Amino acid sequence: MLQRALLISSSRQHFTNECERLEIMFYKLKYPQHMVKATIRRFTDSRITAQQHPQTTNDENLVRVVLPFKDQRSADIVRNRLKDLSRKTTVTIQPVFVSQKINDLLKIREKKPSIVNQQRVVYKFSCDLCDTGYYIGYTMRHLHERVEEHKHKQSSICKHYMSKHGTIPRDLTKNIRVLRKCKSKFECLLYEMLFIQKEKPPLNVQSDSLRAKLFM
């Protein structure tokens, strides 16, 4: 951990701050205080004096590049390549590695409905306010797009809500259940009609459509 702190620190002061954080951490883990201090002191004496650790400077020939810290191996490769580049130019290029912030890892992401990525499916809608309002359909697109279309006035589901309950819920996804995942449009048509024949949902429009004729 001291070696990692040394490699990712852009100045001696930053390395000192990292050492102080390590001390506090190991004290909390009940490591002996004298052992922690002695380990840091030995490492500092042997490594800092042997390396030309980057110093804060106003040198115009020094350029620092801020890079995300992925892992130690990647950091070493980048550092060596930048050293080679620095030798070929008159500019000293120094990488400064930064770790991803914890709050970025714990950022609350928008929760999407479970059906948001479902496509090529036969589905069933059930009204949550009565037992008579249910509908069977299919879609080749993402199911949530089809659900949004059921809020339009020409939809059987919208007509049911407006005539029986006077209003339509904002979120219909909780009333949708996938009956069959299909591989093609023909398969969707086939299983849609099979489920309609079996359950006879009252909200499905009864007409002599091409789908209905397939089973006459």
Per-residue pLDDT band at 133 (split at 50, 70, 90): confident
pLDDT at 208: 40
Q: What is the mean pLDDT of residues 53-78?
A: 71
Q: Which of 82, 106, 80, 104 is nearest to 93 (CA)?
A: 82
Q: What is the mean pLDDT of residues 126-144?
A: 86
| 107 in a structural domain | no
Same domain? 67 vs 51: no
| 108 in a structural domain | no
Same domain? 39 vs 69: no
Contact 128, 98 (CB under 8 A): no
pLDDT reading at 59 higher than 60: no
| 209 in a structural domain | yes
Same domain? 96 vs 130: no
2: which residues sit within 8 A by CB, 6+ positions away? Answer: 19, 22, 39, 40, 43, 47
Token readout for 51 is 């390396």
CATH number at residue 149: 3.40.1440
Strand, coil or helix: 119: strand
Distance, CA of 68 to CA of 61 (rounded, Å): 23
Please provide the DSSP assignment of 4-22 as one string.
HHHHH-SSHHHHHHHHHHH
pLDDT at 123: 92
Same domain? 123 vs 209: yes
Number of structural domains in the chain: 3
Distance, CA of 49 to CA of 42 (rounded, Å): 11
Same domain? 126 vs 196: yes
| 161 in a structural domain | yes
Domain limits for position 22: 1-56
